Amino acid sequence: MVRVNESEVELSREEILALVDEGARHRLGIPGEELLELYRRGQLRDLGEVGDLLVLATLLEDQTAA
């Protein structure tokens, strides 16, 4: 993680994946990949529980488009 300024940081793709994975394992007991797959299929029961992780995952889409 690189601090850009007081309110911004830059995360690599690997760092984002690690944060999503850690959060999913801690909160739901599943790997981050499984969390994202369940989300894509519309099978997550409580989006609010992992909303922050899903927002982080949207950053991955931007990185793959570049």
> Is the residue at 56 inside a domain?
yes
> Is the residue at 5 inside a domain?
no
Q: 36: exposed, middle or buried (C-beta count within 10 Å: 0-12, 13-18, 19+)? A: buried
Helix axes 13-28, 51-65, angle to 10 degrees: 160
> Is the residue at 1 inside a domain?
no
Count of beta carbons in the 10 Å neighbourhood of residue 50: 22
Q: How confident is the model at residue 3 (pLDDT cuts 50, 70, 90)?
A: confident
The model's pLDDT over 23-66, given as tens digits with 9 standing for 90+, comes to 999 999 999 999 999 999 999 999 999 999 999 999 987 655 44
Looking at the predicted structure, is the pLDDT value of residue 7 above 60? yes
> Is the residue at 54 inside a domain?
yes
Distance CA 43, CA 3 (A): 35
Domain that holds residue 51: 13-65
Number of domains in the chain: 1
> Is the residue at 3 inside a domain?
no
